[in-house]
Chain A
Amino acid sequence: MKSLEELKAIRESMQAQMGLRKEDSNQTRIVVGMATCGIASGARPVLMALSDAVQEKGLKNVMVTQTGCIGLCKYEPIVEVIEPGKEKVTYVKMTPEKALEVLEKHIIGGQIVKKYTISEMMK
């Protein structure tokens, strides 16, 4: 390495991964249901797509984590978005593509993707 730019490049590419180890109570949490029902209906690729995208985009203060069964098995894969100080939003019947759309529009853009939310589905 011969320049500060190269050092900076390494730092930035690593920081995305190291962001996983940040602890911040003001984080937005994206929670993927990963009980047997969730995994069986394809939650794993959803989780990975979200986790990769958050790291690739270097989103700060966003944590992608998992939870167990929340009792709505027929709507799995379920993704919950919990922003500090806001009402929890529950997205259902997710696919990796839909999840990325949610990430783009909701987490980054701040607009809830109504069509995928549980309240729309149950109508």
Chain B
Amino acid sequence: MYRSHVLVCGGTGCTSSGSPMIIERFKEEIYKAGLKDEVAVVQTGCHGLCALGPIVIVYPEATFYSMVKPEDVPEIVNEHLLKGRIVQRLVYDETKTEEGIASINETDFYKKQHRIALRNCGVINPENIDEYIATGGYEALGKVLTEYTPDQVIQTIIDSGLRGRGGGGFPTGIKWKLARANEADQKYVCCNADEGDPGAFMDRSILEGDPHAVLEAMAIAGYAIGANQGYIYVRAEYPIAVNRLGIAINQAREYGLLGKDIFGTGFDFDIELRLGAGAFVCGEETALMTSIEGNRGEPRPRPPFPAQKGLFGKPTLLNNVETYANIPQIILNGPEWFASMGTEKSKGTKVFALGGKINNTGLVEIPMGTTLRTIVEEIGGGIPNGKKFKAAQTGGPSGGCIPAEHIDIPIDYDNLINIGSMMGSGGLIVMDEDNCMVDIAKFFLQFTVDESCGKCTPCRIGTKRLYEILDKITQGQGTMEDLDRLEQLCYYIKQNSLCGLGQSAPNPVLSTLRYFRDEYVAHVKDKKCPAGVCKALLSYVIDPEKCKGCTLCARNCPTNAISGKVKEPHTIDTNKCIKCGTCMEKCRFGAISKR
């Protein structure tokens, strides 16, 4: 047995910042120090605090080391593991207090979180089924198979108030009930792991950190609706998740937790992986199923809904990864427990991926109804460089923005819809005063133009035209009529598109128009970009009062647009200037500004 466990984060974030090398180094150094029978090195999933990765936690002390480099490893081994002296310089600052080192759960980032879907991420080794079982894994499956009827399972999920975490927010229990009600010789359970929203990565982290939770929940769903086959549709762009899912499925089969006659109850259930090539539209349920069938991933009209006629024409249940991750906990702790968290119509917790202009980039799981202010200012650690909060974009390219005036709104499905945004899958991109809202809308439209599958005209051509109008505005060539046309076109696309992609694609435009119309008007009428982002509307000028004539700017200008004599004020030739901003960065006297 080991006296100490060294947990090293193996999520995608920490892996890309070098955690595999750290693991290797730990193994080497622990061997050298003669501690290999005393200290175990464990690769875990994501801890959520990606901004501080690679993260290493040493138990039993639960010391939280952040931004660890391979060359720090010998010091941790020789000091901490051998002699019991914590390496202070690597300890996460927030855990340092006057009385010593506090638990990570006491820090601003973690103390307001409530981890259900992420509860095992960063705690267990996702490649070891025994560790999942140690935390109560597969107990929920055993319980439903031996004690519950399928209808009781469904009623439990209905009573919990769980709603789909993939974006739509449809009540999960009702979805299961519909799938159960349709009689058929074959039914399917599918998992939507085609997480496509730019900035959202909670599904990936769950698959990487706790893959068995999803497998267990799918088996429970199979029992509830009467299906014996499951498919997980995951994007090939998530290689770590795909790999760990494969390992998890094999281990579950070896243990007989997937396959024939599970727990001797006569219930059969197996799961296969299907890899997607990364098309955004394949996150839409009908396109996803078309893709699993081996066809080109394009949506089809509903009805029939998947619960009636889904995969291979059979009744199919499709839920998102995060939704599934909640299921075993609801079974074990009871629906009342789950329903005691959150708001009236949105129960439980939601995982958000914090990104953009925020100090603590990463994953957070909070009870529904937490305010945006708490997320941004407390958990997220505020906005870097003392800038002002301007808006947060939720729901990615299908969502909208929440402006500063709504920062105190409790976040749940219905409140977000009411202010013109949506929960989406939970990407939350924070923007400060340096972000131009027209430019943001343009960014998301560029994405939907690329990702529109082209099957229906409103989406294929409509999004393109929207993008062109936005581009015209950012170039300073827009007219006031363009703004009206933009709005009209948005409503047209929303009403006439075939699937959710097109129906929601105009949302970023509509919500920025709603809250930041003055910025659009400034681009059109005054030919100015108030945030100083749209290059065509900017000019760089040198303040002759402040300029010392040091020539530094002129020497660094890539297009030789700056001229002037030594020790005399310089000037910028706006015809040659490409607005790269180099001169402004280089100037030591603050003489250059954007207008």
Q: How far is the CB of A117 from chain B (nearest CB, A)?
A: 21
Across-interface contacts of B7 in A (CB, < 8 A): 21
A4 CB–B CB distance under 8 Å: yes
Q: How far is the CA of A97 from the CA of B34 in the complex (A)?
A: 22
For A14, list chain B residues within 8 Å (CB): 130-131, 133-134
Q: Are A2 and B136 touching (Cβ within 8 A)?
A: no
Asked if B28 is at the interface of the complex by the 8 Å CB criterion, the answer is no
A46 to chain B, nearest CB (A): 11
A20 and B264 contacting across the interface, CB-CB below 8 Å: no
Which residue on chain A has the smallest CB distance to residue B123? A21
**Contact (Cβ within 8 A) B3 A21:** no
Contact call A52/B1, Cβ cutoff below 8 A: yes
Q: Which residues of A contact B138 (CB under 8 A)?
A: 7
With a cutoff of 8 Å between Cβ atoms, the chain B residues found around residue A51 in the complex are 1-4, 38
**In the complex where A1-B255, A20-B60 touch, is A11 in contact with B1 (Cβ < 8 A)?**
no
| Cβ–Cβ contact B142 & A7, under 8 A | yes
Residue contact A48 to B38, C-beta cutoff 8 Å: yes
Contacts of A44 in B (CB 8 A): 38
Residues A3 and B264 in contact, CB atoms below 8 Å apart: yes
Residues of B within 8 A of A10 (CB): 130, 133-134
The answer to whether B1 touches A56 (Cβ under 8 A) is yes
Interface residues of chain B: helix, strand, loop or mixed (majority)? loop
Q: How many residues of A contact B (CB 8 A)?
A: 35
A84, CB-defined interface residue at 8 Å? no
Looking at B59, B146, B255, the one whose CB has the most chain A CB atoms below 10 A away is B59
Q: Across the interface, do A68 and B83 meet the contact criterion of CB distance under 8 Å?
A: yes
A35 within 8 A of B: yes
Is B552 part of the binding interface, using a Cβ–Cβ cutoff of 8 Å? no
Our pick among A2, A7, A16, A64 for the contact of B139 (Cβ within 8 Å) is A7
Residues of A bordering B, CB below 8 Å: 1-4, 7, 10-11, 14-18, 20-21, 23, 25, 32-36, 39, 44, 47-48, 51-52, 55-56, 63-68
Apart from A18-B131, A63-B60: 19 A-B pairs, beta carbons within 8 A: A1-B257, A3-B264, A10-B133, A10-B134, A11-B133, A14-B130, A15-B134, A17-B2, A17-B134, A18-B135, A20-B2, A20-B3, A21-B5, A21-B7, A39-B82, A48-B38, A51-B4, A64-B3, A66-B84
